[in-house]
Amino acid sequence: MPKLGVNIDHIATLRQARREFDPDPVAAARICEKAGADSIVAHLREDRRHINDHDIRRLRRSIKTRFNLEMSLNDKIIRIARRIRPDEATLVPEKREEITTEGGLDVIRHFSRVAKAVTTLQKSGITVSLFINPARQQIMKAAETGATVIELHTGSYDLAKTIAARKRALKKLSDMTAYARGLGLSVNAGHGLKYHNTRAVARIPGMEELNIGHAIISRAVFVGLAAAVHDMIKIIKGQP
């Protein structure tokens, strides 16, 4: 059964609507951990639109499970990550104008930059995960960088318009998980996972962790954060 990583970026998005102190992402992380989350994910974006430098310092001190810092290949961000030393760093592509991370990192195109970032972060004792599309060539190159973990982008699965397209996207995720595991990689998945579509991904053999943000924080507005995390864990566990 996969673990659950809760992405708390949108707690900070809400705080930034007023640029004051509430709601506090560190308090949110504590609630998620108490509710059973296996890790906390936060993305320090170059434009600091939600999570900021102060947040990640406080998160590092507070998180008792695992801290997974999402980040781009930007040199300044890499320097910050090496100072903070999250347990894990997930390298993602980043564009200022995008609303959210739009696609996987193109490891083929940016191979030497990615490989250098992987080595640099690993030297600081950080486990590195590469957020990539579920494509064989990308996975093969990801393994060549020396990264030990990949996170498969589930956006195409989430956005599939027909049952047949969703089935195809799910099969791709399943096949690519098996392929990556065969290369010795650990496999996570995330992006766009919701309460109605997560169970099928959680059932993929070899899937290690699902990283979920927007759906959980959205539900939390109505039922509370602990309940929203509990509900997602039940889905991952296949409980009614």
Q: Longest Cα pair distance anywhere in the chain, in angstroms?
A: 48
| Closer residue to ligand PXP, CB minimum distance, 59 or 164 | 59
Structure tokens at 156: 């195409």
Based on the shown chain and the rule CB under 6 A, indicate whether residue 177 belongs to the binding site for ligand PXP.
no
Cα distance between residue 3 and residue 28, in whole Å: 18
Pairing of strands 3-7, 88-91: unpaired
Candidates 134-142, 185-193, 199-207, 222-230; binding stretch for ligand PXP (CB under 6 A): 185-193
157 counts as binding ligand PXP under rule CB under 6 A: no
Q: How far is the CB of 38 from ligand PXP (least distance, A)?
A: 14
- What is the number of alpha carbons within 13 Å of residue 136 lying toward its C-beta? 4
* 110 catalytically annotated: no
Per CB under 6 A, does 191 bind ligand PXP?
yes
Which CB, 42 or 143, lies closer to ligand PXP? Answer: 42
Residue from 6, 63, 215, 236 in contact with ligand PXP (CB under 6 A):
215
Q: Decide if 139 contacts 110 (C-beta within 8 A).
A: no
Number of chain residues interacting with ligand PXP (CB under 6 A): 19
| Residue placing its CB nearer to ligand PXP in the complex, 42 or 84 | 42
x/- site string to ligand PXP, residues 83 to 102, per CB under 6 A?
Answer: -------x-x-------xx-
Among 7, 133, 145, 156, binds ligand PXP (CB under 6 A): 7
Q: What is the rounded CA–CA span in Å between residue 99 and residue 69?
A: 18
Is residue 46 annotated as part of the catalytic site, yes or no? Answer: no
* 191 catalytic residue (yes or no): yes
Q: Is the peptide bond before 205 cis (omega within 30 degrees of 0)?
A: no
The tokens of 199 are what? 């169970």
* Stretch of 13-21, 29-37, 111-119, 211-219 contacting ligand PXP, by CB under 6 A: 211-219
Burial of 90 per CB tally in 10 Å (0-12, 13-18, 19+): buried
Report whether 88 contacts 126 (CB < 8 A): yes
Annotated catalytic residue within 70, 88, 94, 151: 70
Q: Which residues are designated catalytic?
A: 43, 70, 191
